[in-house]
Amino acid sequence: MAGILNSRGITVRKGDSFAIAIRFKTEDGALDISGATIKMDVKDMDNKLLFSKAGQITDAINGLAGIELTPQDTKLDEGDYKTDIQITYANGQVHTIFPQDINKVAYFRVTSQVTE
């Protein structure tokens, strides 16, 4: 699983898999995300949707979820794209959880590969 996630974006090697682990919590502990859905979009710089991924809730009571990027998802041309991740709670509220800086758009960077 080759990739890096930091506060500004995600970097993956072209054609590789990458698992993104997400933990939801409050000051008091885990946040119950029962009934929620998670979605990640990757778009080019002209705002054209390249792919959309649904997240998987792995432990709703303890606020655990993930997004699995497949080799098909990361077979984009090398370069920079943009992304964010949102959660929609069971009550209909939508929150962008990545990037956390409300004034920024996260990058989705695809780097070169040698072995195909």
Q: For residue range 8-31, what is the model confidence (pLDDT) as tens digits?
A: 999 999 999 999 999 999 899 889
Tokens 């996630």 -> residue: 5
44, 84, 38, 6 alpha-carbon torsion, rounded to 10°:
120
Q: Is residue 24 part of a domain?
A: yes
Question: Is residue 28 a part of any domain in this protein?
Answer: yes
Residue 1: per-residue pLDDT: 56
pTM of this structure: 0.91
Q: Which domain holds residue 82?
A: 3-111
Number of domain units in the chain: 1
In a domain, 20, yes or no: yes
pLDDT band (50, 70, 90) for residue 116: confident
| pLDDT at res. 115 | 80
Q: Provide DSSP, 53-93.
A: EE-EEEETTTTEEEEEE-TTTT-SPSEEEEEEEEEE-TTS-
Question: Is residue 5 over pLDDT 70?
Answer: yes
**What is the mean predicted confidence (pLDDT) over 74-88?**
96
In a domain, 59, yes or no: yes
The string of pLDDT tens digits covering residues 34-75 is 999 999 999 999 999 999 999 999 999 999 999 999 999 999
What are the beta bridge partners of residue 69? Answer: 18
- CATH for 11: 2.60.40.10
